[in-house]
């Protein structure tokens, strides 16, 4: 493998397989070796900088993160030849909270995602309606589980598949506060707790699921799991928090969230129940307008976030920086 230092592999992420790490590795694999010659891409956490390379800082964190807050200082920003943000919302937050200038030193290049094949969901009128949650537990699983338990009382044919653990990042000790919640999932007959799984298994779960259920309570700077669910043709239900509206692009079942957990849960349950009821009791699934909408969502996500769209933007940036600094 080529120099890991080149793409920001460090003690924090060397054993991780979260969205940031998947994105970084897939980007590295898709850029040509000659493009990366003389270039160092630093992913979120700054460690050793190579003074002889073009230094691109690829940010995935929030401005309040200790590993990113140094950007409030111009001297720290000037260590990098260019700064790349993962979403427009994230860039705006850094400008608002850290006083970063609106500058040609910065760009927004969205999260790149590998394309998906055609969806494989079964007819929800005659088969179990499958929901899927694929993020770490602190981002909304505590809200989802009790809502789903209530949903089952009204709709016993629903299933929830949970792929959630900090083991994804190599931090098994951080699962401890959520063990009771995980056990609650294991004991429920309609919940399938998968814990740690391969990325390929998670991608297949999207393709088999009707609904991506994501009552997020965490301010995402981008959202790879939402992008993947959109590409796979899931109906995506989530609040209007942080970068989720930016990511969704008006293609999803987005609702107004609330800082109060009970109010948030009530709104989420109502939206979820309406979607499940409609899928089960109407011919919506077979309607041409609905299927056209699903296709449009999938095409939108692929054209905006697919690597075929993202890699040329990275290549263009690197070419520009090499020409500018030569």
Share of the chain above pLDDT 90, in %: 89
Of the pLDDT bands very low, low, confident and very high (cuts 50, 70, 90), residue 318 is very high
How high is the pLDDT of residue 17? 66
Is residue 243 a contact partner of residue 87, using CB atoms and an 8 Å limit?
yes
Structure tokens at 78: 């000037």
Give the pLDDT confidence of 275-309 residue by residue, as tens digits: 999 999 999 999 999 999 999 999 999 999 999 99
Alpha carbon distance, N-terminus to C-terminus of the chain: 27
How high is the pLDDT of residue 5? 43
Give the pLDDT confidence of 214-255 residue by residue, as tens digits: 999 999 999 999 999 999 999 999 999 999 999 999 999 999
Report the pLDDT averaged over residues 130-150.
97
Give the pLDDT confidence of 4-22 residue by residue, as tens digits: 444 555 555 555 567 788 9
Of the pLDDT bands very low, low, confident and very high (cuts 50, 70, 90), residue 45 is confident
Give the pLDDT confidence of 158-174 residue by residue, as tens digits: 999 999 999 988 889 99
Of the pLDDT bands very low, low, confident and very high (cuts 50, 70, 90), residue 72 is very high
The distance of Cα 219 from the centroid of its chain, to the nearest Å, equals 11
Smallest CA-to-CA distance from 25 within 50, 8, 11 is with 8
The predicted model scores a pTM of 0.94
């Amino acid at each position: 493998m080529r120099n890991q230092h080149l793409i920001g592999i460090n003690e924090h992420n060397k054993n991780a397989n979260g969205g940031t790490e998947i994105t970084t590795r897939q980007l590295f694999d898709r850029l040509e070796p000659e493009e990366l010659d003389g270039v160092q891409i630093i992913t979120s956490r700054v460690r050793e900088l190579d003074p002889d390379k073009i230094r691109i800082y690829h940010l995935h964190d929030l401005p309040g993160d200790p590993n990113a807050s140094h950007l409030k200082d111009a001297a720290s920003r000037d260590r990098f030849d260019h700064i790349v943000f993962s979403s427009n919302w994230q860039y705006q937050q850094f400008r608002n909270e850290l006083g970063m200038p609106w500058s040609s030193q910065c760009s927004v290049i969205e999260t790149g995602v590998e394309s998906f094949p055609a969806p494989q969901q079964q007819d929800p009128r005659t088969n179990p309606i499958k929901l899927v949650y694929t993020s770490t537990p602190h981002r909304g699983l505590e809200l989802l589980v009790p809502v789903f338990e209530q949903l089952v009382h009204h709709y016993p044919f629903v299933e929830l598949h949970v792929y959630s653990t900090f083991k994804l990042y190599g931090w098994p000790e951080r699962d401890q506060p959520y063990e009771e919640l995980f056990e609650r999932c294991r004991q429920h007959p309609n919940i399938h707790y998968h814990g740690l799984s391969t990325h390929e298994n998670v991608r297949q779960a999207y393709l088999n699921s009707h609904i991506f259920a994501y009552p997020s309570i965490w301010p995402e700077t981008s959202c790879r799991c939402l992008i993947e669910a959109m590409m796979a043709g899931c109906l995506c239900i989530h609040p209007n928090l942080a970068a989720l509206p930016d990511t969704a692009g008006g293609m999803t079942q987005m609702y107004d969230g609330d800082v109060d957990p009970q109010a948030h849960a009530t709104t989420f349950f109502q939206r979820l129940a309406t979607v499940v009821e409609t899928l089960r009791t109407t011919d919506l699934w077979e309607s041409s307008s609905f299927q056209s909408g699903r296709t449009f969502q999938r095409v939108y996500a692929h054209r905006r976030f697919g690597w075929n769209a993202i890699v040329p933007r990275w290549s263009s940036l690197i070419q520009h920086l090499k020409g500018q600094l030569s």
